A and B are shown apart, each in its own frame.
Chain A
Amino acid sequence: MITLDRVCKVFSVGPVKVPALTDVSFRVAKGEFVILHGRSGAGKTTLLKLLYRAETPSEGEVAVLDRPLARLKGRGVAALRQNIGVVFQDSKLLPGRTVYENIAFVLRVLGAPRGEITERVFDALRAVGLHSRARAYPAQLSQGEAQRAALARAIVRRPALLIADEPTGNLDDEMGAEITQVIREVNAGGTTVVFATHQARLAAMLKSRVLVLDGGRLVKDK
């Protein structure tokens, strides 16, 4: 499903080279739930961006959904992303649209048939327990609800891979646990999940494979 082979990523800030990832290699099998743990600045977000091709590695090979990403461009990148759901620390909901419209938006831009959209949106909302808030605007939601709406938007296309970048970072423990539980359920449905968190307690609690990043290096895989 995912293969990283000796991946390095270096950012150039003027003449200064800043290494974000150094010699990172690992594999993730289809249907796995993998936690990417590390402190802020450890390279988690950079690594996740490599997976949905928002960044390209400076060295090494990345393959996602068994597709090497090195030569992927334009339509190839779009096709890859159509099979990946991404959730961020902030929900990134569109403020002028209701929860329903936010989720339907991604189906519409991908050309889903009109007749299917309502059903699929409510399926996703039921999966995250937010179907009663479909008509609410983002400003009317709690942070937990907003994050669940963002999660519904990420899974409405039934992606093969779900990438969650600190999805509980802005939430209290209770809300964080709710979101984590929903992501667990998505994984139980067969979706591969890569879950990034800086919270050691959460990483330990999830009882899954943990990849630990430190200073851009993969220091533990357990």
Chain B
Amino acid sequence: MIRFLVGEAFRDLRRAGRVAVSAIVLIMLSLGAVGAFLLLSDNLSNAIASWRDRLRIIVYLKQEPATGGAAALVRRVEALPGVAAVQYVSRAEALAALRRALGKEAAAAENLSGNPLPASLEVTPSREGATPEGARRLIERLAALPEADDVAGGVEWVDKLARVQRLVTLVGLGFGAVLAVAAILTVTTATTLVLHARRHETEIMRLVGAPEFTIRLPLLLQGMVQGLIGAALAVAALAIAHFFLAPRLGPLMAVALGLGEVNFLPVAHIVAIAVAGTLLGALGGFMARGRSEA
């Protein structure tokens, strides 16, 4: 029975002809758009995660602690919520680091009258401390330390990057939603044409007492097949685009975002696109059925 109903669905699909092809193309475009934005969003998310891992908050101290005082301060800061690790950097270590950073120009540091650099604590936030809200709370706690002179960290721009990522996802979903509505309407039109073409079959089916699901299922199935084909084509188009563009965009992404490579969509997102396509098609098939019965 199922084999027969699937056969009927493919027969219906052939009947819908060009309209079915249009529906498949529209589903491909809508899911391709969503997929492209997802791909961008996933890579931004990877960049954000990578930057969060490397995120450090620097607490500049008013004065260098006395011997033994630094270790006690480190232990106090390590005990604060949102802190994963703390490293004390003495004034001398800071100057040595400056010299290393200056390289050939290190001689310039010799002209300094004494060591102007303050001692500091390099605080690595924990996972919760690296979230925008967690980082804000942690910075407040660190600034409240009596030894702290100033607190600096790269939290703001990671925050901004996270906002850009959310915006990209929203734009992608919005763009995809508009195209998805067009795709649903096209599947509905294709299915309505199929309904018209198969009205004699439907009449005979009702006349011989066919169960209602045998009448409805082929319509749903042909819509789902259109959706699944559209989704598969969207993923294929994205894979081809990724194959050709990723090597060219890789260096740019490395410089701009610190990403090692531009990754393709994870399996979960590919499955989600396939499921979304199938549901779009099914919805189109269902709506046509509703219209025909009205």
Contacts and interface: CB of A to CB of B under 8 A. Distances in A.
Contact of A111 (B1, B207, B212): B1
Given A108-B1, A109-B205, A78 B212 contact: yes
B207 A52 contact: yes
A189 interface: no
B201 A77 contact: no
A77 B200 contact: no
25 contacts: A52-B207, A77-B209, A78-B212, A80-B209, A81-B207, A81-B209, A82-B209, A86-B207, A92-B200, A92-B203, A94-B204, A95-B200, A105-B201, A106-B204, A106-B208, A108-B1, A108-B4, A109-B4, A109-B205, A109-B210, A109-B214, A110-B209, A111-B1, A111-B214, A157-B208
B211 interface: yes
Interface residues of A, number: 23
Contacts of A82: 208-209
Given A109-B4, A111-B1, A75 B204 contact: no
Contacts of B209: 77-84, 110
A207 to B, nearest CB: 29
Contacts of B214: 109, 111
Nearest to A74: B212
A64 to B, nearest CB: 13
B266 to A, nearest CB: 42
A198 B188 CA distance: 43
B210 A94 contact: no
B208 A110 contact: yes
Interface string A55-86: 00000000000000000001101111111101
Contacts of B203: 92
Question: For this complex, into which size category does the number of interface residues on chain B fall?
Answer: 10 to 19
Interface of A: 52, 74-75, 77-84, 86, 92, 94-95, 105-106, 108-111, 153, 157
A153 B209 CA distance: 13
A108 B204 CA distance: 12
A75 B214 CA distance: 12
Contact of B208 (A74, A75, A81, A95): A81
What are the 4 closest A-B residue pairs judged by CB atoms, nearest first? Answer: A81-B209, A82-B209, A78-B209, A109-B210
Given A74-B212, A81-B207, 17 more contacts: A75-B211, A78-B212, A81-B208, A82-B208, A82-B209, A83-B209, A84-B209, A92-B203, A94-B200, A105-B204, A108-B1, A109-B4, A110-B209, A111-B1, A111-B211, A111-B214, A157-B208
Nearest to A97: B201
Interface centre among B4, B200, B205, B212, by most chain A C-beta atoms within 10 angstroms, is B4
Contacts of A52: 207
A39 B212 CA distance: 36
Contacts of A77: 209
A134 B267 CA distance: 50
Nearest to B11: A96
A74 B203 CA distance: 15
A135 to B, nearest CB: 18
A52 B206 CA distance: 11
A82 B203 CA distance: 14
| Candidate in B1, B201, B203, B208 with the most chain A CB atoms within 10 angstroms | B208
A155 to B, nearest CB: 12
A69 B4 CA distance: 31
A105 B7 CA distance: 12
Interface in B79-104: none
